[in-house]
């Protein structure tokens, strides 16, 4: 399915996307409460995205969220148990309200709500874990926060890239003869192939990322063999061979 999401369509997402308050934790129990609720929201909302999302990049991101946050949640629960701290078993009202809104959306409407919600949630998670890893009052939880932080920052970067594409700053369209833009490319090989195919190419093969962060390979379009490229912004470009 070829999907093009633009800034105008994002305006409608504001009705179902929430911005969570800035997070910090003064005590170990406070950190556990906020980290656990945030982690549960990531898993539950992303399980919805696996079936409700329209864009392949959103679905791929959601699968990663389920895997990574399920593992982090289990580790947090283990450490909290060792420290005799309570772990919340349900979302707070604000996260639950966002989840309920997501549960009523599907396709592009879901994407337009899920991506801003994930961007906000990861901004807050990075802030929470960064602050606690530096100033926390429990050694084991500080170590957990420091260990988990790089993964959260990676998630934050990926969802920001997806958000930029949705905002219309980039598109999945193709441009004959145009030059790809250099930059750190977070697309996996499978995601790059999907985006190129969604732009109307077939027989995509030989994909490799060059020193400029551009995925390059070969493909066919309109019966002609072409050299194809995908840059970090999601632009697909090609040249006749």
Q: Kindly list the domain boundaries of the chain, sorted by start residue.
A: 7-166, 174-240
Instruction: Render 191-213 in DSSP notation, one character per residue.
Output: HHHHHHHHTT-EEEEEEEE-TTS
How high is the pLDDT of residue 180? 79
Closest CA to 136 of 18, 2, 3, 28: 28
- Tracing tokens 């934790």 back to the chain, one arrives at 25
Length reported for the chain: 241
Q: What does the alpha-carbon distance between residue 149 and residue 130 come to, in Å, rounded to a whole number?
A: 7
DSSP 84: T
Residue 103 pLDDT: 92
Q: How far is the C-alpha of 241 from the C-alpha of 41, rounded, in Å?
A: 48
Give the pLDDT of the chain (241 residues) as one tens digit per residue: 334 333 334 434 433 444 444 455 679 999 999 999 999 999 999 999 999 998 888 999 999 999 999 999 999 999 999 999 999 999 999 999 999 999 989 998 999 999 999 999 999 999 999 999 999 999 999 999 999 999 999 999 989 888 887 765 444 445 555 677 788 877 889 888 888 887 788 999 999 999 888 999 999 988 889 999 988 877 888 887 6
Sorted by sequence, the CB contacts under 8 Å of residue 241 that are 6+ apart come out as: 218, 225, 226, 227
pLDDT at 200 (0 to 100): 81
DSSP letter assigned to residue 20: P
Phi/psi at 145 (5° precision): -65, -45
- 7-166 CATH pick, 3.30.300.30, 1.20.1260.10, 1.10.390.10, 1.10.540.10: 1.20.1260.10
């Amino acid at each position: 399915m070829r999907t093009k999401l633009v800034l105008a369509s994002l305006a409608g997402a504001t009705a179902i996307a929430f911005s969570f308050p800035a997070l910090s934790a003064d005590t170990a129990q406070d950190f556990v409460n906020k980290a656990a609720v945030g982690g549960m929201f990531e898993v539950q909302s992303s399980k919805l995205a696996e079936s409700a999302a329209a864009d392949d990049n959103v679905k791929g991101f959601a699968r990663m969220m389920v895997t990574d946050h399920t593992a982090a949640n289990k580790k947090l629960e283990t450490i909290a148990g060792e420290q005799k701290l309570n772990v919340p078993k349900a979302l707070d009202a604000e996260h639950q309200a966002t989840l309920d809104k997501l549960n009523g959306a599907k396709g592009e409407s879901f994407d337009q709500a899920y991506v801003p919600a994930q961007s906000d949630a990861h901004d807050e998670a990075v802030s929470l874990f960064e602050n606690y890893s530096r100033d926390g009052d429990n050694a084991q939880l500080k170590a957990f926060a420091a260990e988990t932080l790089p993964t959260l920052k990676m998630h934050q970067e990926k969802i920001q890239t997806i958000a930029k594409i949705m905002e219309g700053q980039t598109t999945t369209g193709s441009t004959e003869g145009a030059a790809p833009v250099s930059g750190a490319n977070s697309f996996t090989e499978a995601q790059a192939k999907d985006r190129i195919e969604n732009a109307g190419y077939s027989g995509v093969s030989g994909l490799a990322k060059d020193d400029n962060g551009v995925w390059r390979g070969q493909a066919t379009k309109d019966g002609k063999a072409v050299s194809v490229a995908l840059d970090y912004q999601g632009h697909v470009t090609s040249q006749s061979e």
